[in-house]
Each structure stands twice: as structure tokens, then as C-alpha cells.
Amino acid sequence: MAMIAQLVFLVLLIGGVGLFARKISSIVRNIRLGKAESRTDQPSRRWKQMVRVALGQGKMLTRPVAGFFHVLIYAGFILINLEVLEIVLDGLLGTHRIFKPILGAFYEVIIGFFELLAVGVLIACIIFLWRRNIQRLERFHKPELSGWPFLDANLILIIEVVLMGAFLLMNIAEANMSDRGGYLLSNQLGFLFEGMSEGVLHTLERVAWWGHIIGILAFLNYLPYSKHFHILMAFPNTFYADLVPSGRISVMESVRKEVSLMLDPDADPFASPADVSDGDQPGRFGAQDVTDLSWKSLMDAYSCTECGRCSSVCPANITGKKLSPRSIMMKTRDRLEDVGKLLDQGQEAGSDGQFLLGDYITAEELQACTTCQACVEACPVLINPLSIITELRRYQSMEAGEQPGEWKSMYTNIENNGAPWQFPAADRLGWAAPSKSQ
């Protein structure tokens, strides 16, 4: 019987990890559809940034209440799941709590600490469910969260409650067995199963043990389809995040060189153009689809937590305009997933006649952006929605020629007068000149 259980466990483990690895490989492929961009400079700064923001949850506590409970769930879920290593070894080797004889008394301290964390996670999840469904915080009830995104957020919290409950149930049942004993919290809660026979307790313990590991494997495969995928993506995303000062907008190098040449008084306007390497070719101006964005922007889309902090500080969104930075990230991820499905079917990206710009993200959303960087500053995992917005808007203006008439007038004035206004530079301060009557 023990051998059968080990074989069943092995099949479940290989199947669960294999399916997860397969989905991760498709996500990596999708991210690599983006344009090449070097993000390996200053590695020491990048490591420090990742440790501070992703591991240390450095930006979560800017909102103390949500931040505290999020850190509690994060720490509890990560630390408690260290026990998964022991469960895996027990399942493969047919042992029970393989680390207990090795660690001795320290093992009881560790499990007791894990039990307290499990209760903390349960409390935090219940509070978050209440905030979403009873208190109904405004940022959790925006149009982009209707339907599946809202259900997904609730499912994640419910799954975490079930997993923590299975962990505690396993320990409490074991605390009532005469040959096992319990730990810090399970000893105190042992009265819940007091009077049950050894056989029933053993069955409860086994059901909880199998439920816990099957739940972990199922949750592992649910992650890539869920907003909760950010618990994995936060680490590479913060490592590769921008190191330049906030507010600096990227320029196209090929355009910069051309403008510099035009403004160079020593340049020969009649000289033959220098040979242009493939790397200097301008290609497309801005982005029409996800394949025109950088790979980092696509990684941002998969890293979005859908927390809504970006949209809650966006002045356009606050004043009722259609723009929502959170929606920009979600739509980019949706489009990227759709492109991935085309590739899985042997088709090319764009063969469906759809594009990120127009079919997923509208011109109205893009034109409402003030490029104030509020969304970038607010993101707890250093996502940059503005980079996607500016690239799409760049394509609108520079290639498609689709921008409001007021913008066209402004561009013309800047080109002719050096300012957004139609008055020549020499006349711009005429209003300040003393009048002749004085």
C-alpha cells in the first residue's frame, strides 16, 4: 500500500511540475517576442533594488493597512511552503516528517512558528475578502475588473484559506494521536478532535496531507493564469526595472541621430548619408502591437498585480476619463496571450487582423494620459505603464498620423516657432514691453 501511495505521489508531482514548466516556457516565449533591450547594466544596483522591493516588500507599506496584511500573507505563504520540501520527500520516500529526527527540538519551534503564520494568513485573507466584497473598496470595482478578474482575486484568497486550513487540520489531527503529539498551536486546538478514534484521526491527517500537497500543485498551475503570478514575476521584474530617473522618456536612437545631424551647424547638408547598420534602422515608429514593444514592457504585463494603485493615483482616471493604467497592463497581457495562441496554432502574430492599438487599447485612453508618472511611482513592483502608453502614442503620431487637430497645431508651432504657441519667439514677450503712453 505504501509503495502504491509513493507511485501515485510521484505521478502527481511529475504531472504538476511538468504542466507548470510547459506554461512557463510559453510565457517566456511570449515575452521574448518583444524588441531587444539591454537591462544588465549596474548589476549591484539591480540586485539591491530586487531585494528591497520584491523580497523586502519595500513599496507595499506606503498604504499601511493593506501593506501590513499583504506582507503577512506574503511572508506566511512563502515560509509555510518551505514545508512543501518535507512533504515532497515524505511522499517520495514513504517517510513521515523526515526532518523531525534531524532537527530535534528545533523542529517543533519551526512548525509552531508556521502554525502561527498560517493563522495570520487566514486572518489576512478574510480581511481582504471583506474589503473586496463587503466594504467594496472603489479601486476593486472598476470596469476592467468586472467578470473574471474580480472572481480570480476572490479565488486566490479562498484557495489560500483552504491551503492554510489543510495545514492546520493536518497538525491538529496529529496532535490527538497517542504516538504523535502536536505543536504550539495544534496542541491548544487539539480539543476540536478530542474523543475521536485513532483510525479516524489518521484518516483526517492523511486527507489533510494529501489535500495540502495536491492543492499546492493545483495552485502552482493556476498561478500563470492568474494575477497572483506576480509573486513569481516580481523578482525578475524589479531586477530589470528602470534605473534612470523617473520621468525620463525614451527616445528612438535613429531619430536622435538624425535630429542631431540636422542641428549640427558644421554638418555638410550635401554629404552622402553614412552607411546605416541594421541596428540603427528606425523600423517602426512606436508600437502598434505587442511585438513592437520591448520585452521589458511585456514582462511588466505579466507582472501586474491588478491592485489598482496606479489607477487610483492617475489624474485622468480620477477625473472620470477612460484611461486606467491598470487596464493598459491587463489589455497588453490579454493581447500577448492571444498572440501566443496564434503561435501555438502555427500562425504568425497579427494574422488575426487584430492589434494592441485600436482593438484592445483605444486612442481615447492614450490621449488622456498626462505622462505625469504617478502610475509608475505608485506600482509596488516597479511596472511602467507609461512606457507602453508613450510607444502606442508615438505610433499614432509619427506613423499613423492619427492625433487630435490641436496636437497637430502644437507640433507645427513647435517646429516653426520653437514653442507650442503660434507666436514667433521674438513676439512672445511683447505683452511685457512698456507701452508708449508710459
User: Percentage of residues in the chain with pLDDT exceeding 70?
Assistant: 92
Domain end, chosen from 206, 239, 272, is at 239
Which tens digits make up the pLDDT trace of 119-133? 999 999 999 999 999
Kindly state the average pLDDT of the residues 33-62.
Answer: 92
Q: With 0-12 CB in 10 A as exposed, 13-18 as middle and 19+ as buried, what is 433?
A: exposed
Specify whether 47 is located in the same domain as 157: yes
Does the pLDDT of residue 279 top 60, yes or no?
no
Helical (H) or strand (E) element with 223: none
Q: What is the CATH number of the domain that holds 371?
A: 1.10.1060.10
Residue whose cell numbers read 484592445: 360
261 domain-assigned: no
Number of H helices, E strands in the chain: 19, 0
Contact 115, 185 (CB under 8 A): yes
- Span of 11-20, 69-78, 259-268 with lowest mean pLDDT: 259-268
Specify whether 233 is located in the same domain as 355: no
Does the pLDDT of residue 266 top 90, yes or no?
no
How distant, in Å, are the alpha carbons of 36, 173, 369, 374, 408 from that of 315?
A: 32, 53, 9, 8, 24
393 domain-assigned: yes
Specify whether 404 is located in the same domain as 314: yes
Specify whether 295 is located in the same domain as 394: yes
Contact 384, 244 (CB under 8 A): no
52 domain-assigned: yes
Does the pLDDT of residue 280 top 70, yes or no?
no
Does the pLDDT of residue 10 top 70, yes or no?
yes
pLDDT-derived band at 51 (thresholds 50, 70, 90) equals: very high
Specify whether 84 is located in the same domain as 181: yes
Domain end, chosen from 185, 210, 239, is at 239
Specify whether 294 is located in the same domain as 150: no
pLDDT recorded at residue 356? 96
Which tens digits make up the pLDDT trace of 302-357? 999 999 999 999 999 999 999 999 999 999 999 999 999 999 999 998 899 999 99
Specify whether 107 is located in the same domain as 166: yes
What does the chain come to in residues?
A: 438
| Tally of CB atoms within 10 A around 372 | 14
Does the pLDDT of residue 230 top 80, yes or no?
yes
Mean pLDDT over each residue of the chain, to the nearest integer: 88
Does the pLDDT of residue 272 top 70, yes or no?
no
Specify whether 190 is located in the same domain as 333: no
Pure H helices in 94-147: 100-103, 105-133
What's the structural domain count of the chain?
2
pLDDT recorded at residue 76? 82
How distant, in Å, are the alpha carbons of 217, 249, 332, 388, 392 from that of 366?
A: 40, 15, 13, 10, 8
Which tens digits make up the pLDDT trace of 281-311? 556 789 999 999 999 999 999 999 999 999 9
pLDDT recorded at residue 363? 93
Does the pLDDT of residue 367 top 80, yes or no?
yes
pLDDT higher for 291 or 183? 291
User: What grid cell was written down for 76?
Assistant: 506566511
Specify whether 137 is located in the same domain as 214: yes
Kindly write down the DSSP assignment for every residue of 339-368, as one continuous string. Answer: HHHHHHTTPPTTTTS--IIIIIB-HHHHHT
Specify whether 230 is located in the same domain as 315: no
Which residues constitute the domain of residue 197? 42-239
pLDDT recorded at residue 1? 64
Specify whether 62 is located in the same domain as 135: yes
433 domain-assigned: no
Kindly state the average pLDDT of the residues 220-235.
Answer: 93
Specify whether 215 is located in the same domain as 320: no
142 domain-assigned: yes
249 domain-assigned: no
pLDDT-derived band at 426 (thresholds 50, 70, 90) equals: low
Pure H helices in 240-322: 253-263, 295-303, 309-313, 315-318
What are the φ and ψ backbone dihedral angles of 113, each rounded to 5 degrees? -65, -40
247 domain-assigned: no
Which tens digits make up the pLDDT trace of 146-175? 999 999 999 999 999 999 999 999 999 988
Domain end, chosen from 203, 223, 239, is at 239
437 domain-assigned: no
pLDDT recorded at residue 193? 85
